Amino acid sequence: MKITGIELRRVAMPLVAPFRTSFGTETARDILLIRVVTPDGEGWGECVAMSDPLYSSEYVDGAADVLTRFLIPAVTAIDNPDASAVGAVLGRFKGHLMAKAALEAAVLDAELRAAGTPLARYLGATRDRVACGVSVGIMESVPQLLDAVDGYLAEGYQRIKLKIEPGWDVEPVRAVRERFGDILLQVDANAAYTLAQARQLAALDPFDLLLLEQPLPEDDVRGHAELARMVRTPICLDESIVSARAAADAIALGACRIVNIKPGRVGGYLEARRVHDVCTAHGVPVWCGGMLETGIGRAANLALAALPGFVFPGDTSASARYYHQDITTPFVLDDGHLPVPAGPGIGVEPLPDVLDSVTTSKQWLPNSGG
């Protein structure tokens, strides 16, 4: 596949409501999109790095810089690159997994569109729709939280995930469980605790949670293994899982019983499929996490979430959960599910007028190789 050039596009997307976690509050997203242009068409990828290096070491300005200076030139230097070659050629550059994932996704989308192949079929999906959960940020008060959860359940979401941090954990979880009964309920700490706070985390055990996500720092896999022996709630790892090898190591150490797979965090959809395969081989269920993606990233996530090992509802929420106006045709919840796009590639395209209205900058990088 010959690449004519690659466009980097920044878009500003205000959120429907502020989204607060243990590492800060977001009111809008500065999103980096990648468009790969070939003689046969184009492909899109979305970089999920945040504006500041809080969730991970990556941030959107840094992603744009490393793509422009290193990653894109390395890919366009390949003769007729395909997605399987992108990971290999980018492997010599350390880190920057979210930037790599976005570039690989755009190349893969272009490749599959030209071949007329849906991403879901390419990855090995077994379903045409996926059950959806919703992530609920830290609120100002428990009554505000209960109102929010009530609204999401009324919309049909099949699983509720509560963000927690020290001081906002047992009380809100108890309130949600008492108010809404036997719903699928899980919590996400975003690495806000230490092993010394194991007793506080064990206090969540009576609430029959589906899982406790990433309670400790991402590099403390051994600590998670120790914590897993101290609490009954299944430990799920998120930030700690950066590759299939990391997943295999965490499983072998007993650090987790469930894995959250985010394609951007592991370097792309091909590595995400490898993480899925490792977990499935070890009998470890997985689910698809989210990074407040637009319809471009959401479409690709839905294709991934339709693989057989994804047994829990993920964070593949409807477009309206985060954005008043998505840059693609919006994804709308239907009986607690979203459809897996069936068209070639990721199966969706940006709406030109909407995309232009939220674009803050564009950079065209021609393939100087010819």
Active-site amino acid positions = 163, 262
Angle, helices 269-281/244-253, rounded to nearest 10 degrees: 30
Q: In whole angstroms, what is the distance from residue 175 CA to residue 143 CA? A: 9
Q: Which residues contact 196 (CB under 8 A, 6 or more apart)?
A: none
Strand stretches in the chain, DSSP E: 5-21, 24-38, 41-47, 129-131, 133-136, 159-163, 185-188, 212-213, 235-237, 258-261, 286-288, 337-339, 359-366
Calpha distance 318→50 (Å, rounded): 20
> What Å distances lie between residue 227 and 194, 255, 315, 363, CA to CA?
10, 8, 25, 47
C-alpha distances (whole Å) from 88 to each of 78, 85, 246, 247, 312 are: 11, 5, 18, 20, 31
Residue 115 φ then ψ, to 5°: -90, -10
Residues 146/177, Cβ–Cβ less than 8 Å? no
Q: Are 347 and 119 in contact (CB under 8 A)?
A: yes
Half-sphere exposure for 222 (CA within 13 Å, toward CB)? 0
